[in-house]
Amino acid sequence: MTDILQIVLAKRPAGDVTADCFREETASLPALAEGQILVQSRFLSLDPYMRPRMTELASYTPPFELGKPLTAGSVGEVVETRNPRYAKGDTVIGMLNWATHTVHDGKGLRKIDPALAPLSAHLGVLGMPSFTAWYGIKHICKPKAGETAFVSAATGAVGQVAGQLAKLAGAQVVGCAGDDEKCAWAVREAGYDACFNHRSESDPGAALDRLCPKGIDSDFENVGGKIFHAVFARLNNFGRVAFCGAISEYQDKEPMAGPPKMFAIVQRRLTLQGFIVSDHAPLMGEFAAEVGGLLKSGKLKSRETVIDGLAKAPQAFMGLLRGENFGKLVVKVS
Amino acid sequence: MTDILQIVLAKRPAGDVTADCFREETASLPALAEGQILVQSRFLSLDPYMRPRMTELASYTPPFELGKPLTAGSVGEVVETRNPRYAKGDTVIGMLNWATHTVHDGKGLRKIDPALAPLSAHLGVLGMPSFTAWYGIKHICKPKAGETAFVSAATGAVGQVAGQLAKLAGAQVVGCAGDDEKCAWAVREAGYDACFNHRSESDPGAALDRLCPKGIDSDFENVGGKIFHAVFARLNNFGRVAFCGAISEYQDKEPMAGPPKMFAIVQRRLTLQGFIVSDHAPLMGEFAAEVGGLLKSGKLKSRETVIDGLAKAPQAFMGLLRGENFGKLVVKVS
């Protein structure tokens, strides 16, 4: 028997996620069955997509179960094993519980080399958010020299990589973020040509008119809502939208409608494509080679926020939904 | 000097197109200048895309000019020539005025063999509407066996070909049209598996639930508005929309908004792509070979409505916008 700490979904949110949606529990784990491993979590990734999973809305992943631990992309260490594929001490990445320890059958986990990079990087600039950015930029947005590429949530875990990849492709890159410090970082460190603060500039259309005078050729969409509507209205002929997320809408009770003048999709021959990176797992090797190379050569910057302690995960997640994190948000579990 | 009959744009419509938007005029043409030809129109094509061109809305083609003849895809005969590329008696296709005769510099016209098919077919099943259907089905909808393909305006000039091409690709094909006779033709002649009357069935969602029990994998969108919203809500994972037109919206004063739950584009990894066939002119040869072959072997049916006399073009066009035509609508000019 192992006593562990875990955080379960106590209640589904209606509107804003509140602290009482979570409950911290101590649990006793039974002895491992044949084929199982016990993984001690090191880092846990908090990502916007978790919000839709807290409700019963049909989403691309099944909803979290009430009364059960939430799950998250995590890096951990195998501390006990009855599975011949895993040795004690292996470092693994995959979906683990919001918990100090997870009993797992090993399926869907992947061993990583802890010497390669800081463990948390595997959840960010070397991991799923970065892969998401890479896929959307490379396969949907396809920015190029002479074009203007827009990235909403410009300094988020996904956006910061998307913006830098668009810049490396030669485009003029414009973003928006939730405070002046993030906008300054986007321009100074991530190479954005411009970034506006969507909280202090209440009319995103005016900001876009100022910063994207030649219109927008591609949009890496992380925010949705009125920012997306303003971008859509300014897409050039043959514009592309990689629709990755809509964090501005996740806490709304009423789902956000599409853009007010939908027929522009024909008039301007637009392509809007929603995607989920897990569908493209076969491209992971190509991504890792390309983005790993950029990291090694110093061409890709990244920024993360590390929260210390599992117990702080709910507050950190609520902050993420309000845009309070800066860059990739991870929780150091142990 | 040649006296001709022409129809000019007398007034831009606000809402429904009315008879006073058009004015019939007799005009005297001057002698041809060097390089010009005089083309006598035989058939003139009426198409929904002309409606946005009547207003000053930004559209993919420049608006018609007030006081000038409207233009249309037409087939005509060269009756005078001062251009060495054209001989008297040549049959040509291209944009000509809503007029008995057009003075033209020959650019953008193409000679056709009048023995190949009835002249009007070059404006329909061998022409732009059919090419539009072919492009959208082949390059965007990509229907296949086991899937459900939906086509709105199922018996229109574009829809009737789109539906048949989707069926030939092996999909279950469902459409909607504006009366029972059209729906019956769609099933009996064009091979649709089902077609509902969107006027008698006020809730398109209920009709789609009944006729597309496995959801919709591709949508060839000609209608827009509430029919598109109902289709969008029923798109399966990885669904594709070829956005070709939105005839239900062209006469609305308020442009139609996008679908109410736009985030489904991510949840279900949807692709929405607007297109205009003139962008894809280099594929015309491939289209002509493929669709010409299907026609020759009897695998493709087509239906047209022929209106006799240029003077009736305005009324016929107003009827087109109300869905009164059946299949491709052409005007026999002379």
pLDDT at B59: 58
- Kindly state the tokens that stand for A118: 């800081």
Judged by a CB distance cut-off of 8 A, whether residue B56 touches chain A is no
Judged by a CB distance cut-off of 8 A, whether residue A246 touches chain B is yes
pLDDT at A201: 94
**Chain A environment of B242 (Cβ under 8 Å):** none
Same domain, yes or no, for A103 and A150?
Answer: no
pLDDT at A256: 82
Q: Where are the alpha helices (DSSP H) in chain A?
A: 50-54, 128-135, 159-168, 180-188, 204-211, 225-233, 264-267, 284-296, 313-321
Same domain, yes or no, for A146 and A118?
Answer: no
Same domain, yes or no, for A11 and A96?
Answer: yes
Judged by a CB distance cut-off of 8 A, whether residue A279 touches chain B is yes
**Chain A environment of B274 (Cβ under 8 Å):** 264-271
Q: pLDDT-derived band of residue A329, with 50, 70 and 90 as boundaries?
A: very high
In angstroms, the Cα distances linking B136 to A23, B166, B228, B245, B304 are: 51, 10, 16, 11, 21
Is there a contact between B274 and A274 if contact means CB atoms under 8 Å apart?
no
pLDDT at B247: 83
Q: What is the pLDDT of residues A153-185, one digit of tens each?
A: 999 999 999 999 999 999 999 999 999 999 999
- C-alpha dihedral (B253, B254, B256, B260), degrees to nearest 10: -150
Same domain, yes or no, for B116 and B222?
Answer: no
Mean pLDDT for the stretch of residues B121-135: 95
**Does residue B294 contact residue B288 with C-beta atoms inside 8 Å?**
no
**Chain B environment of A266 (Cβ under 8 Å):** 60, 243-246, 274-276
Same domain, yes or no, for A132 and A269?
Answer: yes
The reply to whether A248 falls in a domain is yes
Higher-pLDDT residue of A257, B316:
B316
Pairing relation of β-strands B37-45 and B328-332?
antiparallel
Same domain, yes or no, for B163 and B90?
Answer: no
**Does residue A127 contact residue A135 with C-beta atoms inside 8 Å?**
no
pLDDT at A246: 85
Helix B128-136 to helix B159-168 angle, to the nearest 10 degrees?
A: 40
The reply to whether B291 falls in a domain is no
pLDDT, averaged across chain A:
94
Higher-pLDDT residue of B80, A250:
B80
Percent of chain A with pLDDT over 90: 86
Instruction: State how far the Cα of B125 lies from the Cα of B117, in Å rounded to an integer.
Output: 10
Same domain, yes or no, for B112 and B12?
Answer: yes
**Does residue B171 contact residue B239 with C-beta atoms inside 8 Å?**
no
Judged by a CB distance cut-off of 8 A, whether residue A260 touches chain B is yes
Judged by a CB distance cut-off of 8 A, whether residue B204 touches chain A is no
Partner-chain residue, chosen from A259, A269, A273, that has the shortest CB–CB distance to B276: A269
Same domain, yes or no, for B203 and B263?
Answer: yes
Q: pLDDT-derived band of residue B3, with 50, 70 and 90 as boundaries?
A: confident
pLDDT at A59: 58
Pairing relation of β-strands A110-111 and A148-152?
unpaired
A220, A222, A278, A279: which is closest to A250 by C-alpha?
A222
Lowest mean pLDDT segment, chosen from A51-65, A157-171, B236-250: A51-65
CATH code assigned at B220 = 3.40.50.720
- Kindly state the tokens that stand for A28: 């006793």
Same domain, yes or no, for A133 and A97?
Answer: no
A48, A60, A64, A53: which is closest to A7 by C-alpha?
A64
Q: What is the pLDDT of residues A102-136, one digit of tens each?
A: 999 999 999 999 998 999 999 999 999 999 999 99
Judged by a CB distance cut-off of 8 A, whether residue A60 touches chain B is yes
Q: What is the pLDDT of residues B47-84, one digit of tens each?
A: 998 998 998 765 567 899 999 999 999 999 999 999 99
Mark which of A278, A294, A314 sits at the end of a domain.
A278
Same domain, yes or no, for A139 and A268?
Answer: yes
Instruction: State how far the Cα of B201 lies from the Cα of B198, in Å rounded to an integer.
Output: 5
Same domain, yes or no, for A93 and A144?
Answer: no
The reply to whether A294 falls in a domain is no
CATH code assigned at B318 = 3.90.180.10
Which residue in chain B is spatially nearest to A52 when comparing CA positions? B267
**Does residue A277 contact residue A135 with C-beta atoms inside 8 Å?**
yes
Lowest mean pLDDT segment, chosen from A39-43, B169-173, B245-249: B245-249
pLDDT at A154: 96
Instruction: State how far the Cα of B244 lies from the Cα of B247, in Å rounded to an integer.
Output: 10
Which residue in chain B is spatially nearest to A265 when comparing CA positions? B274
**Chain B environment of A262 (Cβ under 8 Å):** 224, 228, 246, 255-259
Q: What is the tally of helices (H) and strands (E) in chain A?
A: 9, 15
- Kindly state the tokens that stand for B329: 């609508």
The reply to whether A292 falls in a domain is no
Q: Please enumerate in sequence order all residues whose Cβ is within 8 A of that of B312, keeping only pairs 6 or more positions apart, or say none.
A: B331
Judged by a CB distance cut-off of 8 A, whether residue A275 touches chain B is yes
Q: Does the pLDDT value for residue A219 go beyond 70?
A: yes
- C-alpha dihedral (B109, B115, B120, B122), degrees to nearest 10: -50
pLDDT at B58: 55
Instruction: State how far the Cα of B325 lies from the Cα of B322, in Å rounded to an integer.
Output: 8
Mean pLDDT for the stretch of residues A295-317: 95
Structural domain containing residue A17: 2-124+303-332
The reply to whether B294 falls in a domain is no
**Does residue B263 contact residue A256 with C-beta atoms inside 8 Å?**
yes
The reply to whether B293 falls in a domain is no
The reply to whether A287 falls in a domain is no
Q: pLDDT-derived band of residue A236, with 50, 70 and 90 as boundaries?
A: very high
Q: pTM, whole model, 2 decimals?
A: 0.91
Write down the ipTM of this complex. 0.90
Instruction: State how far the Cα of A319 lies from the Cα of A296, in Å rounded to an integer.
Output: 31
DSSP per residue over A104-143, as a string? Answer: E--TT-EE--TTSS-GGGGGTTTSHHHHHHHHIIIIII--
SS3 B247: helix
Number of domains present in the structure of chain A: 2
Same domain, yes or no, for B85 and B191?
Answer: no
pLDDT at A1: 60
The reply to whether B211 falls in a domain is yes
